[in-house]
Structure 1
Amino acid sequence: MSSGSQPAVPAGHRFAYVTLVTNADFALGARALVRSLRLSGTSADIAVLHTGGVEARALAPLATLGARLLETELLPTSDAFNAAHGRDRLHGLAPFTKGDKPAFHTPLDNFCKLRLWQLDYERVVFLDADTLVLQNIDRLFDYPEFCAAPNVYESLADFHRMNSGVFTARPAATTFEAMVTRLDAPGTFWRRTDQTFLQDYFPNWHGLPVFYNMLQYVWFNLPGLWNWPDIRILHFQYEKPWQTHAKAERLRPLIDLWHAYAGDGPVPDATSLPGPAT
């Protein structure tokens, strides 16, 4: 089995925040994420797994911010697995009805997250490239494997399902090998790709508070749950803040916050921002 990644520079710390970039759009998101981590005051490494679908010029701003770039490969999955999880077939069998997945989203790319179990770190916190870290979250390195927040964005019924946009992990080659074996077993179908797989692989996952993965739809679906001083990580699930989309005006305060982090100027103190209208 390939090691899966080729680091541009050696690790600088035993712990790392890791994100995944598979195209120029997610590289744009990752720049805001990396800057938010820098502004949080962390001393841990910030590592970016990136595939061959990302040009060097899209990755350059991440390197400028001090991110460790790790070129990675897609997982060696079977033709049957790839066909089952292709974008058109996957979305046909498991359509998204609550929001719009962007056109640049390729479901098979999601499984590259598993490569982080091959990395040369003792402890990892994974963050999707469409997240922002609003307060220091280094305490998550002391949490066990596997911790994630519930996929709450519409109702209390969401609490039974985890969201894989933020989670804690302990890299280990044995774990990675076991994962790949289970992932591509004959006849498998992972409805929500890596999210469904990880919940199956870690059935006793430890629940993080929703404030460690606050999904943007909470802003208008569950406004009573939104409290800026509590929010550590903001996650722009479905529509992205750098896109033009139908929900943009409803999410304007969150999008404006993302653009502040995506730029080079000052960012507002999120703990003092007004909450959603109730």
Structure 2
Amino acid sequence: MENRNGKTAQFRLSVALFWVSTLLTGAAFSSHAAHAPLKGTLKANAYATMLYMGTPRDYEFYIAARVMLGTLVRFQVDADLVVIASESVPPQWQKTLTDEGAKVVVVSDIQNPYANYRNFDKRFLLTLNKIYAWSLTEYQRVVMLDADNLFLRAPDELFQCGQFCAAFINPCIFHTGLFVLQPSNETFSNMMHDISIGKESSDGADQGFLASHFTDLLDRPMFHPPADGSRLDGLFRLPLGYQMDASFFYLKLKWRVPCGPNSVITFPSVPMLKPWYWWSWPILPLGLSWHEKRVATIGYETESPVLIAESLFYIFIMLVALIIRQRYACSEKSSMSRITCFGRGPCAEKKLCHPWAIKLIILALVAGSFRLPFYMIPTTVHPLMGWGVFLLGSFCLLTVVNTAFQLPDLPVLTPWLGCIGALFTMGSPFYASGITRGLGIGIYVAMITPFLWWAAKRVSGVVHAKVYWEPLMAWNSVRSEPASETLMKLC
């Protein structure tokens, strides 16, 4: 028995050290990525985006804006990069954006007259700041961008478009994640007047407001850039290739957008599945494409030390748990003839609580073993790094639960093994289409469910079969021997 526990401890330690070495390699690889700022005189045109504060995800959108602008730098676009930043944006963020080649224009927040409307989404409270793009009159054309755009190429031909151009993802309402405009003080003043009088808006955000301002865009001609490089006048619809909704990808798992060059991917989906969140992959496969852009631009220098610290913390608590487990195993031989608890040691003389209460406690601790690592990981790390720390943390915490209640190893680790299987199933690159991917996920769920049910019944049976229990009964014996000697036995 002692030999078996020693081998189990060595296996757990080996798994943990493997994850840490993998994370250290990934952190070292990603921490050197950077991009050079654009230099030179004022350009005739600009790509612009905006930043404001007041949402729970301000930092994530700041990172997203840096990656998007860094991608444009790498494509060597022939335009300035402008960030329309609220006064509340931290000065350090503004400095970082400037150092990375952007021109930061600080503005006062436009008060949203629709904030008190029923069903108004507070996330869009300051999106009307996008109107400031019309005040950038030093430029002939501006391409206004949301931070969740992923560029596949440099679409500089957009600067040949007219006074206002946008794409229709919705068949009837144009999308404002990317649009082309001609800056004009007159247009800016008219829009500010419409805001002040509370002109009708379908959603109280920038999209509803602009849709009410350019009401006939659906009837305008499609934009085709002139071969001679000249600029067009008027309003135009942009081909869908300039705003490819990421959801179009998931049906065929490839891009088949025949309308214009496939240039820009946008992610107007569930906010918590934006591509920069590490957990969005492999649920949505395009998350890796966004992180490839981040690796090539700003890297992960900020998050890497946090991941390393978390990994070392998990290794430490698992080592403590294994030391206690080893001492517990050593105490079994001297206690086999006495009343046992979980069949492995001396028990308390009275029943501490009902078995169902113990089952609920174990269930809560197992669930917490997954939830705690999930919430501790920085949200915008690379998915492979995020899932690596998540699996390491949950593995170590499950080891603690296993040690505390002396549960069988495999049933406790079955949900953890199921997570690994789910990652491989969803992340497999061999699916021919989104339909086959969905079928594969469904088959995996059907296959893993009986194993999870077996694991739950196995743990429940072990707990229910024992009337008396006393967690961590070997603690006194652990204290009687130096931890360094026990650690040497594990090795």
Shared fold (TM-score, shorter chain, > 0.5): yes
Deviation, structure 1 residue 184: 3.7
Report the Cα offset of residue 192 of structure 1.
5.6
Of 250, 257, 282, 1:220 maps to 250
CA distance in 2, matches of 1:265, 1:123: 26
1:108-142 alpha-carbon deviations (Å, 9 max, x no partner): 21110001111132211111111122111110001
Q: What do residues 182-223 of structure 1 show as CA deviations (whole Å, max 9, x unaligned)?
A: 234257343161112112211232211111011112222576
- The answer to whether the 8 A contact 2:111-2:126 is kept is no
- Structure 2 match to 1:36: 71
Q: What is aligned with 1:95?
A: none
**1:32-73: CA deviation from partner (whole Å, max 9, x where unpaired):** 111111122212100011113321333344222201111111
Query: In 2 relative to 1, CA 36–83 (structure 1 residues): closer, same or farther, beyond 3 Å?
Result: same
Question: What is the distance in 2 between the residues matched to 1:266 and 1:24?
Answer: 14
Q: Which residue of 1 aligns with 2:205?
A: 193
Alignment counterpart, residue 185 of structure 2, candidates 173, 179, 197: 173
* Letter of the structure 2 residue corresponding to residue 218 of structure 1: F
Q: Does 1:141 align with 2:159?
A: yes
- CA deviation after TM superposition for structure 1 residue 25, in Å: 2.1
The alignment partner of 2:125 has SS state of: helix
- Structure 2 residue aligned with 1:255: 287
Contact 1:214 1:231 in 2 (8 A): yes
Identical pairs, percent: 24
Q: Is 2:262 aligned against 1:235?
A: no
The 1:264–1:224 alpha-carbon spacing in structure 2 relative to 1, beyond 3 Å, is closer
Q: Secondary structure at the match of 2:190?
A: helix
Query: Relative CO higher for 1 or 2, CA cutoff 8 Å, sep ≥ 6?
Result: 1
Query: For structure 1, which segment, 227-236 or 38-47, has the greater mean C-alpha deviation from structure 2 after superposition?
Result: 227-236
Tell me how far 1:106 sits from its aligned partner. Answer: 2.2
Q: TM-score when scaled to structure 2?
A: 0.44
**Alpha carbons of structure 1 residues 196 and 222: separation in structure 2 relative to 1, 3 Å:** farther
Distance 2:76 2:296 in 1: 17
Going from structure 1 to structure 2, the CA distance change for 1:116 and 1:277 (only over 3 Å counts) comes to: same
Q: Which residue of 1 aligns with 2:141?
A: 123
Q: Count residues in correspondence.
A: 238
Q: Which amino acid aligns with 2:85?
A: H
What is the aligned partner in structure 2 of residue 82 from structure 1? 115
How far apart are the structure 1 equivalents of 2:205 and 2:168? 16
Q: Distance in 2 between matches of 1:130 and 1:112?
A: 17
Amino acid at match of 1:235: T
Greater strand content: 1
C-alpha separation between the residues in 2 aligned to 1:108 and 1:173?
23
Distance, in Å, in 2 between the alignment partners of 1:13 and 1:274 is: 45
1:226–1:54 Cα change, 3 Å? farther
Partners of 1:210 and 1:276 in 2: how far apart?
24
Whether the 8 Å CA contact 2:244–2:265 is kept in 1: the answer is yes
Q: For 1:165, what is the secondary structure of its paired residue?
A: strand
Farther-moved stretch of structure 1 (32-41 vs 227-236):
227-236
Contact 2:112 2:125 in 1 (8 A): no
Secondary structure of the equivalent of 2:47? strand
Normalized per residue, the structure richer in helix is 2
When normalised by structure 1's length, the TM-score is: 0.75
3-state SS of 2:171 partner: helix
In the alignment, is the contact (CA less than 8 A) between 1:24 and 1:55 conserved in 2?
no
Residue 276 of structure 1 deviates from its aligned partner by 7.3
Pair 1:259–1:129, CA change in 2 (3 A): same
Counterparts of 1:32-71 in structure 2, within 5 Å, are 32-71=67-106
Q: Contact 2:115/2:204 (CA < 8 Å) preserved in 1?
A: no
Secondary structure of 1:54's counterpart equals: coil
Which 5+ residue runs of structure 2 have no aligned equivalent? 1-39, 53-57, 218-235, 300-428, 435-491
Task: State whether residues 260 and 266 of structure 1, in contact with CA within 8 Å, keep that contact through their aligned partners in structure 2.
Answer: no
Q: Distance in 2 between matches of 1:175 and 1:274?
A: 51
Equivalence for 1:98: none
Compared CA separation, residues 195 and 129, structure 1 to 2 (3 A): same
Compared with structure 1, are the counterparts of its residues 76 and 168 closer, same or farther at alpha carbon in structure 2 (3 Å cutoff)? Answer: same
Residue 161 of structure 1: how far off its partner (Å): 1.5
| Structure 1: runs of 5 or more not aligned | 1-9, 92-104, 152-157, 268-272
Matching residue's letter, 1:63? T
Which residue of the partner structure matches residue 108 of structure 1? 125
